[in-house]
């Protein structure tokens, strides 16, 4: 039996496993984050988008299957995401701004 038959998974855009790391394919590289660095997120069904905030920045996922990915992510089952241009349209990353301390004289 496959994941699709066992768990009703409807897409091949992400892998379902239980791992302490989640990986996002962004541009031409993998970004890896430990689940414990997850701060919070939001799902906007009308925009078909999910934003996931981590300690180092925010990952934005768009596409018709973004809600299903969000559910799998919340259950710690989606540990690898790569856009396919159909079900997951894009995955982008915005680094968290680093506040610079004023130089002391």
- Provide φ and ψ at 3, rounded to 5°: -55, -40
Query: pLDDT by residue (tens digit) across 33-56?
Result: 998 899 999 999 999 999 999 999
Q: Domain limits of the chain?
A: 3-95
More confident site: 51 or 5? 51
More confident residue, 46 or 78: 46
**Which DSSP category does 94 fall into?**
E
pLDDT band for 105, please (50, 70, 90 cuts). low
Confidence (pLDDT) at 1: 36
Per DSSP, the three-state class of 46 is: helix
pLDDT band of residue 73 (cuts 50, 70, 90) is: very high
Question: Structure pTM?
Answer: 0.76
């Amino acid at each position: 039996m496959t994941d699709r038959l066992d768990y009703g998974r409807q897409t091949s855009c992400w892998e379902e496993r239980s791992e302490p790391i989640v990986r996002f394919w962004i541009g031409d590289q993998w970004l890896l984050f430990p689940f414990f660095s997850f701060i919070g997120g939001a799902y906007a069904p009308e925009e078909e988008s999910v934003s996931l905030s981590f300690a180092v920045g925010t990952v934005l996922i768009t596409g018709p299957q973004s809600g299903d990915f969000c559910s799998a992510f919340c259950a710690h089952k989606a540990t690898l995401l790569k856009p396919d241009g159909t079900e997951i349209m894009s995955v982008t990353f915005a680094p968290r701004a680093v506040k610079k301390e004023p130089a002391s004289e």
